[in-house]
Amino acid sequence: MATYEIKNNRGSTTDALLASNQKRRCVYAESTLFSKRESKSRLTQGIVMVCTRGINQDGVEVMSFERTMLIYKRRHSPEEAAGY
């Protein structure tokens, strides 16, 4: 499992609530990377676009959304520089 420090959520391009979900039901998230590119102004960061979908316990997709985010590149996060 990979974890990434998100510097800035650049916004949502599409949001969809596809089905209702009952209270106290689990929703599992699955994200797919659509694109990535270098930031032109921030050399230690990049811009990624991901699509995330939420799937309930029955395997029904209940939501999906796309996000564009500014994230630190590997070995450039403030936490890494501080030795955490």
Q: What is the mean pLDDT of the chain?
A: 79
Q: Say if residue 79's pLDDT is above 50.
A: yes
Q: Which CATH architecture has domain 6-82?
A: Roll (3.10)
The tens digit of pLDDT for each residue in 43-76 reads 999 999 999 998 888 888 888 888 899 999 988 8
Query: How many Å apart are CA 67 and CA 16, to the nearest integer?
Result: 12
Task: Supply the pTM of this predicted model.
Answer: 0.65
Specify the pLDDT at position 10.
Answer: 55
DSSP assignment, residue 57? T
The confidence score (pLDDT) of residue 56 equals 87
Provide mean pLDDT across the span 14-29: 70
Q: What is the pLDDT of residue 2?
A: 40
The more confidently predicted of residues 7 and 65 is 65
**Torsion, Cα of 79, 67, 65, 24 (10° steps):** 20
